[in-house]
Structure 1
């Protein structure tokens, strides 16, 4: 139960902030947001406020912000369509009823000859007495059919009507908010837990490990690796992990005396990836300072951004095996393990995951935010948008490939944890 709660809270928070970025920038730009959803699949909870439906859906694997004008959002009244209209005080159509069974005393009926529900906002046709009539349509008009209602979306409220820069910022805002969330969590950790000291202090060494064999002792402070200055434990650990099986020269400060030791890092398999270890343990000392907590939040966000970006680069170049990737099952398992070590460790894990989510979404792949930004780049170069049908086909293929990748990494997770 603890694992389930931890996973729902962590993953739900990351998805919420990601979609909140899209949502706030869309609203700021004047785009109509039809739905703000956490999860996919069947709707569990839905609340309508203003022009937006807020939902929680069954599958907690992501979320979305559905904006007016995207995909198949727009609606057209075809000639010959028989509809009912309810007018407002100004004589404009405020309700367009498609189901003829929904009759009310104040409803007008007509057969549509032509209509424009986006730019000119009018409906023209023939009433019950075969007289040709024309009605202006309110910008807040509702289309109703069989108990379902949808606001019309005037062209200037649609995503595609906005300038290129506004559209790009709306899409980029999702990953941006993941980075902001990570900064906020790291800063909060600095305020609540304190800021770990910058000294790469060795608390203990493991028996028969490379470090103790080379002569490194508890209390030593790491100063350098292969002549490169090291200021923090995280930086030191990252260097060691990236060089499994390699011989390193580690410089330490031992009570004011500067010593150097040749150490060959062990190569250890962790979830299909080879990482280096030398058998040293670290226990940081924490300092509480509000101003330093903000600086710490920025430093940690930048450190993990660079670290994850490097790992993505290794994946692209083939230095990092796809077998080492984790999907929802792997994240679920890891979250449960981290949660056992306390709320501070869980917060740190959530911040790292948030950065990872932001970076992965910025990859220039179809169906991801990065893929859409790539198309915006093409639009800027060409001076006109890519054909929507062609772009839609590319994104559809991208979604299929991402689903295939998800199946592969999920199967890897199942084999790793259950067999």
Structure 2
């Protein structure tokens, strides 16, 4: 029963969510590549041995493979699925044939094809968020303080019940959730809070405390807190409904906030304001997928949108074997007027593969440690 529960409760939701995100990412590569005149030899969801597949009239092998932890589009002239060119093979092709390979296409076509994968993930996130905002709206409350926690950053700064928070570091805020989102990714960082009290405004400096919280599923999450709360009376709890156009705008804003929040988190890791054990791998994603599935379709869709942004950003990292690494190669080629030599690219690909594998091992170790702990 335990194995069956794991499969139905965690594994299946994980595979479904990840497969959707991978499909959209690879479809971005595929569509722009085909539009650019580049031949595609394989489109795979998953890695490893093929489970099922078929060939289309263009000679592309569409397949589902055994290891559901990603996928790839393999272009004609690529040596491996990571789009590393087969330099020897390309040298044996005619000019017309080379133009149909990724390595032989014009520089702008290669860049567009590679960038299309992450862009597709960002667009998917926008669409999902737009649907959620359009169907469910958004629950909001005014940023009015009903209580200040004792020994909190807000108490030390002099914030009082009844104060209205109107800006953070000079940026206007409209809802209490804006406050939570802003300070949560700024632990141990000086923040200037502008409050309105008795019709007068004043700026109060404070430093959000790095705090470890436990969510409803028992997962530990680290974030910055200032120690203020609101209630229905002070916050004027309400639900905002959006028109389709407004929902799309909110989807763009939400996606942008996730991207900026991710960069802020990376910066916090570098500066030591957050611990690296927050990084998760496939085990944690599977766990989160199962947990969100218990909360309903909207929660799963929200998780899918967040993961889609994460996949897009991960692939834009300037690491060879990832899309960002290819874009770096193309930028160097544009500056030099010619591509890097085969030897230099080979070394870079090997280093990049080692970096990606190391990150995966580290993230999976974090997953296992959190499960054991």
| TM tier relative to shorter chain | 0.7 to 0.9
Aligned ranges for residues 223-302 of structure 1 at < 5 Å?
223-225=166-168, 228-244=171-187, 250=193, 265-269=208-212, 271=220, 273-280=222-229, 285-302=239-256
Alpha-carbon separation, structure 2, partners of 1:205 and 1:341: 29
Alpha-carbon separation, structure 2, partners of 1:45 and 1:284: 49
Q: Which has the higher contact order (CA 8 A, sep 6+)?
A: 2
Would the alpha carbon gap of residues 391 and 222 (structure 1) be closer, same or farther in structure 2, given more than 3 Å must change? Answer: same
Alpha-carbon separation, structure 2, partners of 1:209 and 1:336: 37
Alpha-carbon separation, structure 1, partners of 2:246 and 2:131: 11
Would the alpha carbon gap of residues 397 and 251 (structure 1) be closer, same or farther in structure 2, given more than 3 Å must change? Answer: closer
Query: After alignment, is 365-374 or 278-287 more displaced?
Result: 278-287
Alpha-carbon separation, structure 1, partners of 2:342 and 2:296: 48
Offset at 1:269?
2.4
Offset at 1:280?
2.4
Which residue does the alignment assign to 1:54?
Answer: 62
Alpha-carbon separation, structure 2, partners of 1:310 and 1:13: 27
Which residue does the alignment assign to 1:90?
Answer: none
Alpha-carbon separation, structure 1, partners of 2:285 and 2:254: 21
Which residue does the alignment assign to 1:360?
Answer: 314
Which residue does the alignment assign to 1:388?
Answer: 342
CA deviations on 1:62-102 (whole Å, 9 max, x unpaired) are: 1100000112686999xxxxxxxxxxxxxxxxxxxxxxxxx
Offset at 1:389?
3.4
Offset at 1:38?
0.9
CA deviations on 1:38-80 (whole Å, 9 max, x unpaired) are: 1111212212112111111121211100000112686999xxx
Alpha-carbon separation, structure 2, partners of 1:385 and 1:245: 44
Of 137, 147, 151, 1:194 maps to: 137
Offset at 1:194?
1.6
Alpha-carbon separation, structure 2, partners of 1:169 and 1:223: 42
Alpha-carbon separation, structure 2, partners of 1:346 and 1:281: 27
TM-score, scaled to structure 2: 0.80
Where 1:18 maps in the other structure, the secondary structure is helix
Alpha-carbon separation, structure 1, partners of 2:187 and 2:267: 18
Alpha-carbon separation, structure 2, partners of 1:313 and 1:212: 24
Cα RMSD of the aligned pairs, angstroms, is: 3.4
Aligned ranges for residues 27-42 of structure 1 at < 5 Å?
27-42=34-49
Q: Which has the higher helix share?
A: 2
Alpha-carbon separation, structure 1, partners of 2:343 and 2:192: 58
User: Is the 2:148–2:159 Cα contact (8 Å) retained in structure 1?
Assistant: no
CA deviations on 1:171-206 (whole Å, 9 max, x unpaired) are: 011111111111111111121112455x54469759
Offset at 1:4?
2.7
Task: State whether structure 2 residue 164 is matched by structure 1 residue 156.
Answer: no
Where 1:154 maps in the other structure, the secondary structure is helix
Offset at 1:211?
8.8
Which residue does the alignment assign to 1:337?
Answer: 291
Would the alpha carbon gap of residues 279 and 43 (structure 1) be closer, same or farther in structure 2, given more than 3 Å must change? Answer: farther
Alpha-carbon separation, structure 2, partners of 1:291 and 1:225: 28
User: Is the 2:145–2:164 Cα contact (8 Å) retained in structure 1?
Assistant: no
User: Is the 1:195–1:293 Cα contact (8 Å) retained in structure 2?
Assistant: no
CA deviations on 1:337-385 (whole Å, 9 max, x unpaired) are: 3333332232222212211211121111121111111111111111111
Which residue does the alignment assign to 2:27?
Answer: 20
Where 2:99 maps in the other structure, the secondary structure is helix
Which residue does the alignment assign to 2:13?
Answer: 6
State which structure, 1 or 2, has the greater radius of gyration over its C-alpha atoms.
Answer: 1
5+ unaligned residues in a row in structure 2: which ranges?
1-7, 214-219, 232-236
CA deviations on 1:191-230 (whole Å, 9 max, x unpaired) are: 1112455x5446975976849967755x875323466532
Alpha-carbon separation, structure 2, partners of 1:209 and 1:344: 36
Which residue does the alignment assign to 1:374?
Answer: 328
User: Is the 1:205–1:211 Cα contact (8 Å) retained in structure 2?
Assistant: no
Which residue does the alignment assign to 2:301?
Answer: 347
Q: Which has the higher strand share?
A: 1
Where 1:363 maps in the other structure, the secondary structure is coil
User: Is the 1:244–1:277 Cα contact (8 Å) retained in structure 2?
Assistant: no
Would the alpha carbon gap of residues 323 and 195 (structure 1) be closer, same or farther in structure 2, given more than 3 Å must change? Answer: closer
Which residue does the alignment assign to 1:168?
Answer: 111
Would the alpha carbon gap of residues 211 and 161 (structure 1) be closer, same or farther in structure 2, given more than 3 Å must change? Answer: closer
Would the alpha carbon gap of residues 248 and 20 (structure 1) be closer, same or farther in structure 2, given more than 3 Å must change? Answer: closer
